[in-house]
Structure 1
Amino acid sequence: MPLRVDIPDDSLEYLTSEAKDELKTSILKYNDDIVNEAGRLEATIRSTETPEITRHFIKEAVIGQKNPYRINKTLKKETYLQLCSTITIFISGLIFDFDQFKESSILLIIFLFMFSIALITTVLSFRWRD
């Protein structure tokens, strides 16, 4: 069963006939690359004799085509959260002195504030990782 892909005419409005031919050739080559990569991925975990390429393999193949070295780009927000988490955990560790908490309630409030910020930023950085 052949798979047919329809491209809207609005996208092809300014393309010449040579450009349309080149686009078709590029799409077919991209298709071959994705199917071959999905086949390689499937072969690495094949447990049965009959190969079965699933949606997951196609998605992984497309990601591999876009970024072959799998370099994850971290967001600035994630970097700032990790930095804030590290600093606040360090400061709360320096502040922690159980004997001084009995004497000064302000030190206890500062410690609890820093510890809660550390806890929140750590949880958010893990939450936004994926």
Structure 2
Amino acid sequence: MHVELFDRTVELDADRVRASEDEIRAQVGEYVAGERRTFDLPVTTPEGFAGEVAAEMRAIPYGETRTYGDIADALDTAAVAVGRACGANPVPLVVPCHRVVGADSLGGYSAGDGLPFKRRLLELEGADASATE
């Protein structure tokens, strides 16, 4: 399914979210309006390593970031592997991969229009996106 925010389209794998499209859109709208800090949508995450990365991403609080290296350390793996798993996230926003950044850059982002969209999400949350330009 597609959701619109900031005049951008974000693709969410609705098969992984056990909620109606109306509920998903409502929660995204509340998030953009600053009325929601977490999504309480039941999500089926991938199994294995990608699921472990997704769990780490979901644990990052609103307005905070973690580096690919932080997550790699927590999972005893390489940062590049974490980056690949983030890039394959089937439900961006709901599983907040935008909160994962490089040690000295924003890293990458596969939703919306890429890095400008990631920066905008971080700014919405009050995270310091300028420190990683």
The structure with the largest alpha-carbon Rg is 1
Identify, as 1 or 2, the structure richer in strand: 2
Higher relative contact order, chain-length normalized (CA < 8 Å, sep 6+): 2
Which TM-score applies when normalising by structure 1? 0.20
Identify, as 1 or 2, the structure richer in helix: 1
